[in-house]
Amino acid sequence: MPLTLNYVSFVVGEMERSLDFYRTLGLPVPDGAHMNAAGQAEDHVELSAGGLRIAWETEKLVGEVYPGWTAPPPGQTRLGVAFEAASPAEVDAACQRLQAAGFVVKAAPYDAFWGQRYATITDPDGNNVDVFAGLGNG
């Protein structure tokens, strides 16, 4: 039986800021997801979107699970993530929303030679997050 991608996790330095980024990008991250019912900060937040489990884990938690682990320096990413937009205009709109919220647009939207409107935004932990749409989509 083939394996099925089921879970993606991000190791984050600042949980609330990272969740704000992905919420602004369009993931269904509830406001306050970074806090538990007692008002304490969570080290693990998880949701399901499009049949995929997506989680954010603090550097502290990862260090507890994997003794000796250290966070890579900013800009040293090991994971690529891409979000498909409904249209080229939505790629532009997503970048505008994220930039207005104080996030860094690393590569402004452009029409790529492979037939997509493409942009790259940097999440709060230095990961590249691509947003794309086919150029034939509106």
The pLDDT tens digits of the residues spanning 33-68 come to: 999 999 999 999 999 998 899 999 999 999 888 888
pTM higher than the cut 0.75: yes
- Can you give the pLDDT at residue 1? 66
With H, G, I as helix, E, B as strand and everything else as coil, classify residue 50: coil
Asked, for residue 100, whether it belongs to a domain, the answer is: yes
Residues 61 and 12 in one domain: yes
Count of domains observed in the chain: 2
Asked, for residue 119, whether it belongs to a domain, the answer is: yes
Q: List all residues 6 or more positions away from 55 whose beta carbon is below 8 Å from its beta carbon.
A: 7, 8, 9, 10, 44, 45, 46, 47
Domain that holds residue 42: 7-65
Asked, for residue 74, whether it belongs to a domain, the answer is: no
pLDDT over 70 (residue 3): no
Residue 124 to residues 2, 72, 102, Cα–Cα distance (Å): 34, 13, 10
Residues 57 and 86 in one domain: no
